[in-house]
Amino acid sequence: MAMNIGGGSEEEQGAISTINTTPLVDVMLVLLIIFLITIPVINKTVKVDLPKAVNIPTQTKPENITIAVDKDGNIYWNDARVATSEALLADVKQAAALKPQPEIHIRGDKETRYEAIGRVMYMVQRGGIQKVGFLTEPDHGMLRVRR
Protein backbone atom coordinates (compact mmCIF):
# COMPACT_ATOMS: atom_id res chain seq x y z
CA MET A 1 0.00 0.00 0.00
CA ALA A 2 1.22 3.44 -0.79
CA MET A 3 0.87 6.53 1.30
CA ASN A 4 0.58 10.09 0.22
CA ILE A 5 3.18 12.20 1.97
CA GLY A 6 3.24 15.88 1.68
CA GLY A 7 1.31 18.95 2.47
CA GLY A 8 -2.25 19.54 1.63
CA SER A 9 -5.65 19.31 3.10
CA GLU A 10 -6.62 16.72 5.64
CA GLU A 11 -8.61 14.69 3.09
CA GLU A 12 -5.61 14.44 0.74
CA GLN A 13 -3.27 13.24 3.48
CA GLY A 14 -5.10 9.91 4.08
CA ALA A 15 -3.83 6.50 2.83
CA ILE A 16 -4.47 5.55 -0.78
CA SER A 17 -6.93 2.64 -0.80
CA THR A 18 -6.24 1.27 -4.32
CA ILE A 19 -4.18 -1.89 -4.92
CA ASN A 20 -0.92 -1.56 -6.80
CA THR A 21 -1.11 -4.30 -9.49
CA THR A 22 2.34 -3.77 -11.00
CA PRO A 23 4.09 -6.43 -8.84
CA LEU A 24 1.27 -8.87 -9.55
CA VAL A 25 1.66 -8.39 -13.32
CA ASP A 26 5.44 -8.84 -13.02
CA VAL A 27 5.05 -12.12 -11.13
CA MET A 28 2.48 -13.41 -13.62
CA LEU A 29 4.76 -12.63 -16.58
CA VAL A 30 7.65 -14.46 -14.93
CA LEU A 31 5.40 -17.50 -14.28
CA LEU A 32 4.18 -17.43 -17.87
CA ILE A 33 7.76 -17.42 -19.18
CA ILE A 34 8.69 -20.31 -16.87
CA PHE A 35 5.71 -22.37 -18.11
CA LEU A 36 6.52 -21.63 -21.75
CA ILE A 37 10.08 -22.83 -21.25
CA THR A 38 9.30 -25.97 -19.23
CA ILE A 39 6.29 -27.38 -21.15
CA PRO A 40 8.35 -28.64 -24.15
CA VAL A 41 10.71 -30.37 -21.71
CA ILE A 42 7.83 -32.10 -19.92
CA ASN A 43 6.30 -33.56 -23.10
CA LYS A 44 8.12 -36.86 -23.51
CA THR A 45 7.42 -38.60 -26.80
CA VAL A 46 9.24 -41.09 -28.94
CA LYS A 47 11.43 -39.39 -31.55
CA VAL A 48 9.93 -40.25 -34.93
CA ASP A 49 10.55 -38.67 -38.31
CA LEU A 50 7.04 -38.19 -39.66
CA PRO A 51 6.50 -38.27 -43.41
CA LYS A 52 5.62 -35.06 -45.18
CA ALA A 53 2.24 -35.27 -46.89
CA VAL A 54 2.12 -33.86 -50.37
CA ASN A 55 -0.95 -34.00 -52.54
CA ILE A 56 0.44 -34.81 -55.98
CA PRO A 57 -1.76 -35.65 -58.96
CA THR A 58 -1.35 -39.25 -60.08
CA GLN A 59 0.96 -39.76 -63.04
CA THR A 60 -0.76 -42.52 -65.00
CA LYS A 61 1.73 -44.56 -66.98
CA PRO A 62 0.78 -47.34 -69.38
CA GLU A 63 2.63 -49.91 -67.29
CA ASN A 64 0.71 -49.05 -64.09
CA ILE A 65 -1.90 -51.58 -63.03
CA THR A 66 -5.23 -50.56 -61.54
CA ILE A 67 -7.02 -52.91 -59.19
CA ALA A 68 -10.61 -51.85 -58.49
CA VAL A 69 -12.84 -53.18 -55.72
CA ASP A 70 -16.57 -52.52 -56.02
CA LYS A 71 -19.03 -52.21 -53.14
CA ASP A 72 -19.80 -55.96 -53.26
CA GLY A 73 -16.12 -56.88 -52.87
CA ASN A 74 -15.60 -57.94 -56.50
CA ILE A 75 -12.01 -57.40 -57.69
CA TYR A 76 -11.10 -56.06 -61.14
CA TRP A 77 -7.62 -56.17 -62.70
CA ASN A 78 -7.42 -53.36 -65.30
CA ASP A 79 -11.23 -53.52 -65.83
CA ALA A 80 -11.28 -57.36 -66.10
CA ARG A 81 -12.96 -59.20 -63.23
CA VAL A 82 -10.75 -61.54 -61.20
CA ALA A 83 -12.57 -64.65 -60.02
CA THR A 84 -10.59 -65.56 -56.88
CA SER A 85 -7.90 -64.25 -54.58
CA GLU A 86 -5.53 -66.93 -55.89
CA ALA A 87 -6.01 -65.65 -59.45
CA LEU A 88 -5.25 -62.13 -58.19
CA LEU A 89 -2.09 -63.40 -56.49
CA ALA A 90 -0.97 -65.10 -59.72
CA ASP A 91 -1.53 -61.86 -61.68
CA VAL A 92 0.40 -59.86 -59.08
CA LYS A 93 3.33 -62.29 -59.12
CA GLN A 94 3.44 -62.11 -62.91
CA ALA A 95 3.46 -58.29 -62.76
CA ALA A 96 6.14 -58.28 -60.04
CA ALA A 97 8.50 -60.19 -62.32
CA LEU A 98 8.43 -57.41 -64.94
CA LYS A 99 11.36 -54.99 -65.21
CA PRO A 100 10.80 -52.18 -64.30
CA GLN A 101 8.21 -53.26 -61.80
CA PRO A 102 4.84 -51.53 -62.37
CA GLU A 103 2.97 -49.61 -59.70
CA ILE A 104 -0.32 -50.97 -58.41
CA HIS A 105 -3.11 -48.42 -57.96
CA ILE A 106 -6.01 -49.57 -55.80
CA ARG A 107 -9.42 -47.99 -56.38
CA GLY A 108 -12.01 -48.82 -53.76
CA ASP A 109 -15.68 -47.88 -53.77
CA LYS A 110 -16.59 -45.75 -50.74
CA GLU A 111 -19.16 -48.39 -49.76
CA THR A 112 -16.59 -51.23 -49.86
CA ARG A 113 -15.82 -53.02 -46.61
CA TYR A 114 -12.28 -52.53 -45.33
CA GLU A 115 -11.85 -56.29 -45.31
CA ALA A 116 -12.05 -56.47 -49.13
CA ILE A 117 -9.41 -53.74 -49.55
CA GLY A 118 -7.25 -55.43 -46.91
CA ARG A 119 -7.38 -58.73 -48.82
CA VAL A 120 -6.25 -56.97 -52.01
CA MET A 121 -3.39 -55.26 -50.15
CA TYR A 122 -2.35 -58.60 -48.65
CA MET A 123 -2.27 -60.27 -52.07
CA VAL A 124 -0.26 -57.39 -53.55
CA GLN A 125 2.23 -57.65 -50.67
CA ARG A 126 2.51 -61.43 -51.03
CA GLY A 127 3.03 -61.02 -54.78
CA GLY A 128 6.11 -58.85 -54.22
CA ILE A 129 5.02 -55.49 -55.62
CA GLN A 130 7.06 -52.61 -54.17
CA LYS A 131 4.89 -49.57 -55.01
CA VAL A 132 1.22 -49.44 -54.09
CA GLY A 133 -1.01 -46.39 -54.15
CA PHE A 134 -4.66 -45.55 -53.52
CA LEU A 135 -6.72 -43.54 -55.97
CA THR A 136 -9.30 -41.15 -54.54
CA GLU A 137 -11.54 -38.40 -55.75
CA PRO A 138 -10.14 -34.91 -55.22
CA ASP A 139 -11.65 -32.95 -52.34
CA HIS A 140 -13.08 -29.76 -53.74
CA GLY A 141 -13.62 -28.31 -50.27
CA MET A 142 -17.31 -27.83 -50.89
CA LEU A 143 -19.99 -28.82 -48.45
CA ARG A 144 -22.81 -30.78 -49.99
CA VAL A 145 -26.23 -29.79 -48.80
CA ARG A 146 -28.69 -32.65 -48.45
CA ARG A 147 -32.30 -31.85 -49.17
pLDDT in tens, 74-132: 999 988 899 888 999 999 999 999 988 999 988 888 888 889 999 999 999 999 999 99
CA distance 12 to 125: 89
Instruction: Give the domain ranges of the chain.
Output: 65-135
pLDDT of 64: 85
**Whether domain 65-135 has CATH 3.90.70:** no
Q: What is the mean pLDDT of residues 18-44?
A: 85
Q: Is pLDDT of 44 > 50? A: yes
What is the torsional sign of CA 73, 74, 77, 82? positive
Nearest to residue 106, comparing CAs of 127, 11, 97, 98? 127
